Structure 1
Amino acid sequence: MMQLITPDCYAEFASELREMHGLRYRVFKKRLDWEVQTEGEMETDPFDSLNPVYLLLKGSDWRTCGCVRLLPTTGPTMLRDTFPALLDEMVVPASADIWESSRFALDLPATAPKAAGGLAQATYELFAGIIEFGLANNLSGIVTVTDTRIERILRLATWPLSRIGQPQQVGNTEAVAGFLEISYASLLRIRWRGRLNGPVLWQPVLIQSA
């Protein structure tokens, strides 16, 4: 099941957020060896101070095993402010109906249930949660900066990334920027491929973006 944490609930879910930052440390620093900002075995960056929405995926033991961060493109975003080179001279999106996803991460045991394409069922749950959030907030799309590994996973999940520009080497990662469609058709495909029964988000609330 997915848990949605909005800025007005940060204090109430402080322990869950600490757990999320620890997961991000394990994935991005320890496993992928990205050049990220860490302290006390937690990973954070300046975009965490911009009141993002977080989606946390809970495992059967109720621990956080996945996460993603969501920010409106009407404000600062990673694509605009950190990775503009990935735009290939295209104008960065800045629209109330397009948000940016970042810090998509999963930390799963080898025994985690699998679904179509050999992908973990949890991967489909996290994708479905993003789409459900988008539909609840009348979004038309998600823009993201990711790597070509996740791009392949999105394609296997039948939620393909529409590239904005060509991949470029960023540190030890081949990074790429693109759009993801938010639609009921996308959600139905994800649910079917992931063998998901019904919504995955608890109370997907309406967010008033700036």
Structure 2
Amino acid sequence: MAKIVVAQEQKDSFESSLFADVFQLRYEAFVNRLNWEVVADNGRERDCFDDLQPYHIAIKDDEGRVQGCWRALPTLGSYMLKDVFPVMLQGESVPRHRQVWEISRLVVRKGAAKPTHGCIGDISVDLVLSFRDFALKHGIRSYVTVTTLAGERLLKMLGVRLRRLGAGKVIQVGIEKTVALWIDVNDIPEIKKN
């Protein structure tokens, strides 16, 4: 049975092993598997946005190992779309509101998921469900995110209504074709797992 854990690094020191697992999983996915050009050290991927006390939402298996995760940052300060990928806004104003947060660094451990919603794995479904739960607990109305076309397709397959920001064009970022998305929390369905 998967367990969802929500923690902030500075506040939840009791979860220090969680953060080590999250950064290691991100390294495995973004450096080893996807070959992205990201900051990595000692088998862990951690960037400057992790210094801003974001929330890390993780799914742990029965043995306590992180199988999937994502990071949440409010748009009132620095965040990836605004500070790293502003070109993705394509003319739209920079989102900045206490009820609008950014989803970033979403990852699922390769080979860990079991199909549950058509061809989509259970961990991906649980992560998307956690968007809604996290938002309701933190007064979040909408999310923004920069994601790959595959990430956008997964969200649509799960019934999440979303819109591309700005002109909505696909932009090549490194080796990935990417889009910036706006997701209203009310447009995240309560997904039924098979």
Aligned CA distance change for structure 1 residues 43 and 8 (closer, same or farther; 3 Å): closer
Mapping of residues 97-116 of structure 1, within 5 Å: 97-109=99-111, 112-116=113-117
User: Which residue in the other structure is 2:188 paired with?
Assistant: 186
1:176 to 173, 176, 179: 179
User: Which residue in the other structure is 2:87 paired with?
Assistant: 85
Aligned CA distance change for structure 1 residues 167 and 84 (closer, same or farther; 3 Å): same
Query: What is the TM-score normalised by the length of structure 2?
Result: 0.93
User: Which residue in the other structure is 1:49 paired with?
Assistant: 51
Q: Secondary structure at the match of 2:111?
A: coil
Query: What is the TM-score normalised by the length of structure 1?
Result: 0.86
Paired residues of 2:161 and 2:188 also in contact (CA < 8 A): no
User: Which residue in the other structure is 2:145 paired with?
Assistant: 144
Mapping of residues 66-77 of structure 1, within 5 Å: 66-77=68-79
Instruction: Give me the whole-angstrom Cα distance separating, in 1, the residues matched to 2:57 and 2:178.
Output: 22
**Shift of residue 130, structure 1, vs aligned partner:** 1.5
Q: Secondary structure at the match of 2:31?
A: helix
**Shift of residue 186, structure 1, vs aligned partner:** 2.4
Instruction: Give me the whole-angstrom Cα distance separating, in 1, the residues matched to 2:80 and 2:65.
Output: 28
Instruction: Give me the whole-angstrom Cα distance separating, in 2, the residues matched to 1:41 and 1:70.
Output: 22
Instruction: Give me the whole-angstrom Cα distance separating, in 1, the residues matched to 2:110 and 2:176.
Output: 21
Q: Secondary structure at the match of 1:75?
A: coil
Instruction: Give me the whole-angstrom Cα distance separating, in 1, the residues matched to 2:52 and 2:31.
Output: 22
Q: Secondary structure at the match of 1:177?
A: strand
Q: Secondary structure at the match of 2:188?
A: helix
Post-superposition Cα deviations, 1:63-108, rounded to whole Å, max 9, x if no partner, equal 1010100000011110110000010111011011110010000004
Instruction: Give me the whole-angstrom Cα distance separating, in 1, the residues matched to 2:86 and 2:111.
Output: 35
Instruction: Give me the whole-angstrom Cα distance separating, in 2, the residues matched to 1:157 and 1:2.
Output: 19
Instruction: Give me the whole-angstrom Cα distance separating, in 2, the residues matched to 1:16 and 1:6.
Output: 10
User: Which residue in the other structure is 1:162 paired with?
Assistant: 163
Structure 1 or 2: more strand by fraction: 2
Instruction: Give me the whole-angstrom Cα distance separating, in 2, the residues matched to 1:115 and 1:85.
Output: 36
How many residue pairs get matched? Answer: 190
Q: Secondary structure at the match of 2:13?
A: coil
Residue 128 of structure 2 aligns with an amino acid whose one-letter code is: F
Paired residues of 2:9 and 2:16 also in contact (CA < 8 A): no
Instruction: Give me the whole-angstrom Cα distance separating, in 2, the residues matched to 1:60 and 1:95.
Output: 37
**Shift of residue 15, structure 1, vs aligned partner:** 1.2
Post-superposition Cα deviations, 1:181-200, rounded to whole Å, max 9, x if no partner, equal 212x6242x2x1x34xxxxx
Instruction: Give me the whole-angstrom Cα distance separating, in 1, the residues matched to 2:24 and 2:84.
Output: 22
User: Which residue in the other structure is 2:34 paired with?
Assistant: 32
**Shift of residue 16, structure 1, vs aligned partner:** 1.1
Residue 21 of structure 1 aligns with an amino acid whose one-letter code is: F
Paired residues of 1:66 and 1:106 also in contact (CA < 8 A): yes
Residue 69 of structure 2 aligns with an amino acid whose one-letter code is: C
- Extract unaligned runs of 5+ from structure 1: 196-210
